[in-house]
């Protein structure tokens, strides 16, 4: 009898939700083939068990070991294509997630993987860069700089060697799309880096991955080994040498120049720019440092054309945005949609409102340096310009919802303490300001806040914004000041 | 530390450092060297700084500077089991403070401390990417999600 094939994710979050417990419980069951795949990113449904049917995949959400009988009998499953959380998305970079085995090169290719690199191999470096220019792709790590422009600068800079570096530090809490890519479809990251190497003329690269992602590191190393054997790293006239370098717990090493310092083995202290890494980066050579998601977006653009990619999104934010919803929502998970939806729409359609028993208080977008939005400000459009105008950032697409049991003073203290802990120490306004800011908030927390404290925080904030070398010091005041702006009464104890 | 274990430490350290010496064109990488030492010995003993500096042909200040900069580099050994509570924003939003309080009570120690019997060390970690299945507690290498106070006992029960 042909065994029944069931699909179950081995993504870290799927496993944290109980996927391995299912695998262990069902191990040794006769006529059962359990295939571990990437996750669809609908984590509120994990552990999600799927099987093939003539009409497509059918799934059993939040499955328990005892559900095996009815799953094998085909009872009570839901067609995956009808799950609203997934059906309403425009999956481009995450199109294959939930379907393929992460380390299977065959499955990657069968699902269109490698087409972008194949096309790039036949193009001139200028033509590759032109495709990116037409696409309008802006960096997805937070800075949102036009990708084509960076590659152009690196291409034009003369040097004995050049580097491609993937920023896999993904330090913003609330974000996990890079982790999913590295664990779930590592070949896509490699493909994007190789396309970049062809465009700029690099023959070596690194993936700087946070040590907090051990599964991602393992998957990357296995994928690189496989790709080596398959000849993926044989580029025009040369061989691309790629290594994974593991970080050591420093948030600021997600900033590109601090990352380069760390990659060179030193303290992860921010460098002044100029020179920009594209001109003088790793070991002083032209280096493209881009985020994992940015590289992972490149293959589709080469395969399907920049023009196609630019049909999605808004005028100055082209393509799809990858959001990661977390915190006190009913449906936490990964959402890929065109730029332009409002924050309210995203929270309603995908997050599906607050978690059971919770009441919405505020949402933070863009990680620990992101601004807080109360219920009255959710009409903002998710695109780079709208956020910049509002003094906010999209960052890495993290969206965290806080409920009304959250103490805003404690939250503000947490944000400032974070900045103080993670500051590289180079700039006095950040190094000292974050500590003083934390102290003021601790005083307020202890009931010893005095008149002028909030004005002092605002003034301190202005100095940090104006005089910090990087976005850590520059953005640290925003979560605190937006907390005070929207929940001022909690601070006037 | 008695003389015999001190000698073993030196031997292990020398072996690790041999692999990390700068080799043209690759310059000395202080961070990766310290991570290798920690991997081999469990932590980086401060008394090892001079030998590491000599092997890498850098100053002791260079080594100490990197050792004190990165949160993951530790200068003291940990207990047999490392229990880490995530304090990233999604976990904070899902009230990980309650889980942390429960753990401190159960283990009888504060953050960055080890239980007297050497069994557990309790630490914070800032984000392991499990935000959509938070709160998160990592026991050794195992990531646990949707953790509540009532889960604490079962998380720790298999750790000897």
CATH number, residue A55: 3.40.30.10
Going by the DSSP 8-state scheme, the letter that residue A146 receives in this structure is B
Q: What is the mean pLDDT of residues A468-488?
A: 97
**What DSSP letter does each residue of A453-466 carry, written as one string?**
HHHHHHHHHHHHHH
Q: Do A125 and A266 fall into the same domain? A: yes
pLDDT digits (tens, 9 = 90+) for A404-417: 999 999 999 999 99
For the stretch B76-102, what's the b/e string if a residue is b when 16 or more beta carbons lie within 10 angstroms of its beta carbon?
eebbebbbbbbbbbbbbbbbbbebbeb
Query: Rounded to the nearest 10 degrees, what angle do helices A186-200 and A292-304 cross at?
Result: 70
Beta bridge partners of A241: A204
CB contact under 8 A, B143 and A324: no
Query: Does any CB of chain B come closer than 8 Å to the CB of residue A203?
Result: no
Q: What is the DSSP letter of A349?
A: I
A351 inside 8 A of chain B by CB: no
Helices A453-467 + A477-486 axis angle, to 10: 150
**Residue pointed to by tokens 């990680």:** A367
Query: Of B20, B43, B69, at which residue does a domain stop?
Result: B69
Count CB atoms within 10 A of the CB of residue A451.
8
Angle made by CA atoms A381, A177, A138, in degrees to the nearest 5: 55
Q: Are A287 and A260 contacting, i.e. CB atoms less than 8 angstroms apart?
A: yes
B47 and B88 both lie in a single domain: no
Strand partners of residue A103: none
Does A396 lie at the interface with B, CB-CB under 8 angstroms?
no
Q: Give the C-alpha separation, A84 to A209, whole Å.
A: 33
Residue A232 has pLDDT above 90, yes or no: yes
User: Do A115 and A16 share a structural domain?
Assistant: no
Closest among A55, A38, A148 to A97, alpha carbons compared: A38
Annotate A275-309 with b (16+ C-beta within 10 A) or e (fewer).
Answer: ebbbbbbbeebbbbbbbbbbbbbbbbbbbbebeeb
Q: With respect to residue A92, please indicate whether it lies within any of the assigned structural domains.
A: no
Q: How far, in Å, CA of B106 to CA of A449, rounded?
A: 34
- Which pLDDT score is estimated for A236? 83
Domain end call among A259, A277, A310: A310
Tell whether B11 and B36 lie within a shared domain. Answer: yes
Residue B74: inside a domain: no
Q: Which of B71, B93, B136 sits opposite A402 (nearest CB)?
A: B93
d(CA B105, CA B111): 11
Do A223 and A344 fall within a single domain?
A: no
Q: How far apart are CA A481 and CA A489, in angstroms?
A: 13
What pLDDT shows up at residue A469? 94
A111 and A171, same domain (yes or no): yes
Work out the pLDDT band at A482, boundaries 50, 70, 90. Answer: very high
Judged by a CB distance cut-off of 8 A, whether residue A1 touches chain B is no
Q: Does A266 touch chain B (CB under 8 A)?
A: yes
Q: Which domain holds residue A219?
A: 105-310
- For residues B34 and B88, membership in a common domain is answered with no
Would you say residue B17 lies in a domain? yes
Q: Do residues A129 and A187 both lie within one domain?
A: yes
Q: What is the CATH number of the domain that holds B133?
A: 3.40.30.10
List Cβ neighbours of A175 (8 Å cut-off, separation of 6 or more).
A324, A367, A395, A396, A397, A398, B127, B129, B131
User: Is the same domain home to B87 and B152?
Assistant: yes
The answer to whether residue A350 neighbours chain B at the CB level (below 8 Å) is no
Which secondary structure element, helix H or strand E, spans residue B38, and what is its range?
A: helix B30-41
Peptide bond into B135 cis (omega under 30): yes
- Tell me what pLDDT residue A307 has: 98
Provide the domain limits for residue B52.
3-69
Whether omega before A191 lies within 30 degrees of 0, making that bond cis, reads no
> How far separated are the first and last CA of chain A, in Å rounded?
71
B64 and B95 part of one domain: no
A268–B69 C-beta distance less than 8 A: yes
Is A96 a member of any domain? no
* One domain for residues B31 and B86: no
Residue A315, both tokens: 């005028």
Residue A396 pLDDT grade (very low, low, confident, very high; cuts 50, 70, 90) = very high
B56: Cβ contacts below 8 Å, ≥ 6 apart:
B17, B20, B21, B22, B28, B30, B33, B62, B63
Question: How far apart are alpha carbons A303 and B85 in whole angstroms?
Answer: 42
Looking at the structure, tell me whether residues A35 and A73 fall in a common domain: yes
**Same domain (yes/no): A456, A384:** no
In a domain, residue A94? The reply is: no
Mind listing the pLDDT tens digit for each residue in A256-300? 999 999 999 999 999 999 999 999 999 999 999 999 999 999 999
Pair A357, A305 in one domain = no
Task: Give domain status of residue A417, yes or no.
Answer: yes
For residue B134, give the nearest of A176, A180, A102 by alpha carbon: A176
Residue A99 within any structural domain of the chain: no
In total, how many domains does chain B have?
A: 2
The rounded distance, in Å, linking the Cα atoms of A372 and B123 is 28
Last residue of a domain, one of B69, B89, B107: B69
The whole-angstrom separation of Cα B62 and Cα A247 is 18
> Are A165 and A297 in a shared domain?
yes
Q: pLDDT for A24-68, tens place per residue? A: 999 999 999 999 999 999 999 999 999 999 999 999 999 999 999
Give the model's pLDDT for residue B23: 82
Q: Are residues B49 and B87 in the same domain?
A: no
Mark whether A277 and A153 lie in a shared domain. Answer: yes
Q: What CATH code is carried by the domain that includes residue A120?
A: 3.40.50.11540
- Whether the predicted interface score ipTM is above 0.90: yes
Distance from CA of B36 to the nearest CA of A (A): 11
* A430 within some domain: yes
Give residue-wise pLDDT tens across range A451-465: 899 999 999 999 999
Task: State whether B98 and B58 are in the same domain.
Answer: no
Q: Which of A180-189, A418-427, B11-20 has the lowest mean pLDDT?
A: B11-20
**Residue of chain B whose alpha carbon sits nearest to that of A210:** B128
Domain end call among A255, A290, A310 = A310
Partner B contacted by A405 (CB < 8 A): yes
Strands A78-79 and A56-60: antiparallel
Identify whether B150 is part of a domain: yes
Mutation target vs B (from A9, A13, A217; most B CBs, 10 A cutoff): A13
User: The pTM is what?
Assistant: 0.97
User: Three-state DSSP class for A82?
Assistant: helix
C-alpha span between A231 and B12 (Å, rounded): 38
A174 & A299 share domain: yes
Interface contact flag, A267 B126, Cβ < 8 Å? no
- Interchain CB contact of A487 with B (< 8 Å): no
Asked if residue A315 is part of any domain, the answer here is: no
Mean of pLDDT over chain A:
97
Helices (H), A201-313: 214-229, 256-263, 292-304, 306-310
Element (H, E) at A417: helix A408-422
Tokens of A379: 């009409």
Instruction: Print pLDDT tens along chain B (160 aa).
Output: 445 456 566 778 998 998 888 887 778 899 999 999 999 999 999 999 999 999 999 999 999 999 999 999 999 999 999 999 999 999 999 999 999 999 999 999 999 999 999 999 999 999 999 999 999 999 999 999 999 999 999 999 988 8
Give the residue from A279, A310, A341 where a domain finishes.
A310
pLDDT at B27: 84
Q: For residue B64, is it within any domain?
A: yes
> Cβ of B35 and A262 within 8 Å?
no
Q: What is the pLDDT of residue B7?
A: 58
- Residue A46 and residue A140 in one domain: no
DSSP string, A148-185: HHHHHHHHHS--S--EEEEEE---STT--HHHHHHHH-
pLDDT given at position B8: 64
Q: In angstroms, rounded to a whole number, what is the distance separating the alpha carbons of residues A275 and B15? A: 39
**What tokens does A246 get?**
């593991």
- Structural domains counted in chain A: 4
Q: How far is A204 from chain B (nearest CA, A)?
A: 13
What's the average model confidence in pLDDT over A77-106?
98
Cβ neighbors of A235 (< 8 A, separation 6 or more) are A121, A194, A197, A198, A203
Range with the poorest average pLDDT among A147-151, A289-293, A446-450, B119-123:
A446-450
The answer to the question of residue A443 being in a domain is: yes
């Amino acid at each position: 009898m042909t065994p029944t094939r069931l699909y179950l994710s081995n993504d870290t979050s799927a496993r944290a939700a109980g996927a391995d417990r299912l695998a262990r419980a069902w191990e040794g069951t006769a006529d059962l083939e359990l295939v571990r795949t990437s996750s669809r990113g609908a984590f509120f449904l994990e552990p999600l068990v799927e099987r093939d049917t003539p009409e497509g995949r059918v799934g059993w959400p939040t499955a328990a070991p005892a559900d095996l009988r009815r799953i094998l009998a085909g009872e009570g499953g839901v067609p995956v294509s009808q799950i609203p959380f997934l059906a309403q998305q425009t999956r481009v970079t995450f199109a294959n997630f939930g379907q393929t085995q992460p380390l299977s090169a065959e499955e990657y290719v069968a699902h269109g993987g490698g087409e972008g690199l194949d096309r790039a191999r036949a193009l001139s470096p200028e033509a590759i860069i032109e495709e990116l220019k037409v696409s309008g792709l802006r960096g997805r790590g937070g800075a949102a700089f036009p990708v084509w422009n960076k590659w152009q600068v690196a291409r034009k800079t003369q040097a004995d060697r050049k580097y491609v570096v993937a920023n896999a530090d993904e330090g913003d809490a609330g974000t996990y799309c890079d982790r999913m890519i590295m664990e779930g479809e590592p070949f896509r990251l490699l493909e994007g880096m190789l396309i970049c190497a062809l465009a700029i003329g690099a023959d070596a690269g690194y993936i700087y991955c946070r040590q907090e992602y051990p599964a991602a590191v393992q998957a990357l190393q296995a994928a690189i080994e496989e790709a080596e054997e398959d000849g993926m790293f044989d580029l025009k006239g040369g061989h691309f040498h790629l290594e994974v370098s593991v970080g050591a717990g420093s948030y600021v090493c997600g900033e590109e120049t601090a990352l380069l310092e760390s990659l060179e083995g030193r303290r992860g202290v921010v460098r002044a720019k100029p020179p920009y890494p594209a001109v003088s980066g790793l070991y002083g050579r032209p280096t493209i440092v881009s985020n994992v998601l940015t590289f992972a977006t490149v293959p589709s653009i080469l395969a399907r054309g920049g023009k196609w990619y630019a049909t999605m999104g808004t005028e100055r934010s082209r393509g799809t945005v990858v959001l990661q919803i977390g915190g006190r929502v009913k449906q936490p998970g990964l959402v890929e949609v065109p730029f332009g939806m409002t924050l309210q729409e995203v929270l309603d359609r995908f997050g599906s409102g607050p978690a059971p028993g919770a009441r919405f208080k505020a949402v933070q977008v863009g990680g620990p340096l992101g601004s807080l939005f109360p219920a009255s400000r959710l009409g903002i459009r998710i695109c780079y310009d709208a956020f910049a105008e509002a003094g906010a950032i999209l960052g890495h697409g993290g969206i965290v919802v806080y409920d009304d049991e959250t103490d805003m003073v404690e939250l503000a203290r947490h944000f400032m303490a974070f900045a103080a802990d993670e500051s590289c120490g180079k700039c006095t306004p950040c190094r000292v300001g974050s500590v003083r800011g934390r102290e003021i908030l601790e005083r307020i927390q202890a009931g010893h806040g005095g008149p002028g404290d909030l004005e002092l925080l605002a003034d301190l904030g202005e100095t940090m914004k104006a005089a910090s070398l990087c976005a850590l010091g520059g953005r640290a005041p925003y979560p605190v000041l937006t907390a005070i702006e929207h929940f001022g009464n909690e601070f006037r104890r | 530390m008695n003389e015999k274990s001190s000698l073993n430490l030196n031997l292990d350290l020398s072996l690790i450092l041999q692999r990390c010496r700068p080799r043209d064109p690759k310059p000395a990488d202080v961070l990766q060297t310290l991570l290798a030492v920690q991997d081999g010995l469990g932590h980086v003993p401060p008394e090892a700084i001079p030998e590491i500096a000599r092997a890498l042909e850098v100053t002791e200040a260079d080594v100490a500077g990197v050792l004190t900069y990165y949160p993951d580099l530790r200068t003291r050994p940990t207990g047999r089991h490392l229990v880490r509570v995530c304090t990233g924003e999604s976990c904070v939003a899902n009230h990980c403070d309650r889980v942390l309080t429960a753990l401190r009570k159960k283990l009888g120690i504060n953050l960055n401390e080890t239980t007297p019997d050497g069994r557990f060390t309790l630490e914070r970690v800032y984000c392991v990417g499990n935000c959509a299945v938070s709160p998160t507690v990592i026991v050794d290498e195992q990531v646990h999600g949707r953790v509540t106070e009532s889960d604490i006992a079962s998380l720790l029960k298999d750790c000897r």
